[in-house]
């Protein structure tokens, strides 16, 4: 039985996830689906739910490690026009989940609207960033998001707004399966000051992170009051290699990949790091990246 009958135009079968992740790793997804509009998305989700087929929403794949075995089920990519548009009304921004963060930041800065500069250089989408409250040293997206529209696994759409909508360190309390849009409140600011901040954040990232490599950002969350990178460094793990996966010598919380690297190499290295940090400091490092 073809559970996606009538949707051939938007469904690819046995699709290599390596093409859809920043790591460039991972086996095939049974289905890669790119709906053109919300109605199609609802149909896809309802068919998955009715047929017990697992489904996952994919942003830019920049916080993701897909296993070599691939994804059993459907990866849904929100990349068509309806899912990538964004509009400013005064200081308010309404952005669809598939819109790219960096494009939005550039546009906001040009309009003299501040609030998103802290996210400069994060290669994600609005959906991916909101889901895990992306941010870092300079601030996070949760500070400016006022509400989101989401779709549950039955295809129902509803809105969640602050104070019910809660953001914490690298997490949100959004449990619905798909974030559709985010409403973000920005503030008028001096364009030159905004540009200066964007440059400062960018230079900080360039100096401290191996941005010119294949990676997925920080692998582990910072344990409360500590830096995961510093713990890994102090455990003497910079440069440690398993197969084609290497702990970055620039930032120990990044795992880089060399030619021929498999997802299994990254996963094995992750385990080694966790064991060593536990032995040395009695700290359990929790993953920041998602593993599918």
Ligand X SMILES: Cc1cc2nc3c(=O)[nH]c(=O)nc-3n(C[C@H](O)[C@H](O)[C@H](O)COP(=O)(O)OP(=O)(O)OC[C@H]3O[C@@H](n4cnc5c(N)ncnc54)[C@H](O)[C@@H]3O)c2cc1C
Q: Whole-number minimum distance, CB 17 to ligand X, in Å?
A: 10
Applying CB under 6 A, which of residues 35, 124, 155, 229 lies at the interface with ligand X?
Answer: 124
Is residue 142 within the footprint of ligand X (CB under 6 A)? no
Nearer to ligand X, 214 or 276 (CB): 214
How many C-beta atoms lie closer than 10 Å to residue 210's C-beta? 15
Please tell me what DSSP assigns to residue 115: S
Size of the site for ligand X (CB under 6 A): 31
Is residue 122 within the footprint of ligand X (CB under 6 A)? yes
Q: Whole-number minimum distance, CB 87 to ligand X, in Å?
A: 18
Report the site for ligand X in 155-184 (rule: CB under 6 A).
178-179
Nearer to ligand X, 42 or 280 (CB): 42
Beta bridge partners of 78: none
Please choose, out of 55-63, 187-195, 230-238, 242-250, the segment that lies near ligand X by the rule CB under 6 A.
55-63
| Nearest Cα to Cα of residue 59 among 162, 184, 182, 147 | 182
* Cα–Cα separations (whole angstroms), residue 135 to 141, 154, 159: 6, 31, 23
DSSP per-residue codes, 200-239: HHHHHHHHHS-TTSS--S-SBPPPTTS-HHHHHHHTT-TT
Is residue 125 within the footprint of ligand X (CB under 6 A)? yes
Both tokens of 79, joined, read 């990349």
Q: Whole-number minimum distance, CB 116 to ligand X, in Å?
A: 12
Q: Whole-number minimum distance, CB 40 to ligand X, in Å?
A: 15
Report the site for ligand X in 12-51 (rule: CB under 6 A).
22
Report the site for ligand X in 193-252 (rule: CB under 6 A).
211, 215-217
Pairwise CA distance, residues 145 & 151, whole Å: 17
What spatial distance separates the first Cα and last Cα of the chain, rounded to whole Å?
Answer: 25
Is residue 131 within the footprint of ligand X (CB under 6 A)? yes
| Nearest Cα to Cα of residue 194 among 117, 88, 137, 100 | 117
The structure tokens 């593993």 sit at: 291
Is residue 76 within the footprint of ligand X (CB under 6 A)? no
| Nearest Cα to Cα of residue 103 among 81, 124, 76, 134 | 124
Q: Are strands 187-188 and 113-114 parallel, antiparallel or unpaired?
A: antiparallel
Nearer to ligand X, 194 or 218 (CB): 218
Both tokens of 148, joined, read 């989101």
Please choose, out of 2-10, 54-62, 103-111, 271-279, the segment that lies near ligand X by the rule CB under 6 A.
54-62
Please choose, out of 62-70, 181-189, 227-235, 276-284, the segment that lies near ligand X by the rule CB under 6 A.
62-70
Nearer to ligand X, 131 or 262 (CB): 131
Contact 61, 22 (CB under 8 A): yes
Residues that bind ligand X (CB under 6 A): 22, 56-64, 78, 97, 122-125, 127-129, 131-132, 134-136, 178-179, 211, 215-217, 290
């Amino acid at each position: 039985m073809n559970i996606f009958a009538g949707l051939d135009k938007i469904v690819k079968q046995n699709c290599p996830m390596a093409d859809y992740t920043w790591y460039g790793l991972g086996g095939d997804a049974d289905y890669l689906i790119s709906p053109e509009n919300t109605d199609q998305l609802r149909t896809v989700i309802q068919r998955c739910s009715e047929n017990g087929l697992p489904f996952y929403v994919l942003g830019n794949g920049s916080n993701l490690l897909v296993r070599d075995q691939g994804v059993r089920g459907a990866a849904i990519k929100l990349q068509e026009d309806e899912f990538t548009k964004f509009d400013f009304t005064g200081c308010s921004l309404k952005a669809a989940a598939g819109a790219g963060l960096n494009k939005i930041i550039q546009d906001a800065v040009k309009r003299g609207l501040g609030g998103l500069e802290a996210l400069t250089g994060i290669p994600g989408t609005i959906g991916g960033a909101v889901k895990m409250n992306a941010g870092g040293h300079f601030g996070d997206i949760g500070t400016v998001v006022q509400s989101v529209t989401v779709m549950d696994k039955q295809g129902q759409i509803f809105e969640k707004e602050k104070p019910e909508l809660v953001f914490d360190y690298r997490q949100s309390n959004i449990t619905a399966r798909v974030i559709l849009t985010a409403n973000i409140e920005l503030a008028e600011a001096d364009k030159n000051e905004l540009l200066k901040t964007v440059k400062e954040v960018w230079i900080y990232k360039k100096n401290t992170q191996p941005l010119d490599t294949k990676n997925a950002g920080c692998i582990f969350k910072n344990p409360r009051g500590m830096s995961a990178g510093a713990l890994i460094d102090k455990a003497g793990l910079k440069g440690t290699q398993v197969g084609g996966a290497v702990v970055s010598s620039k930032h120990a919380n990044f795992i880089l990949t060399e030619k021929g690297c498999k997802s299994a190499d990254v996963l094995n290295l992750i385990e080694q790091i966790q064991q060593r940090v536990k032995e040395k400091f009695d700290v359990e490092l929790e993953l920041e990246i998602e593993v599918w």
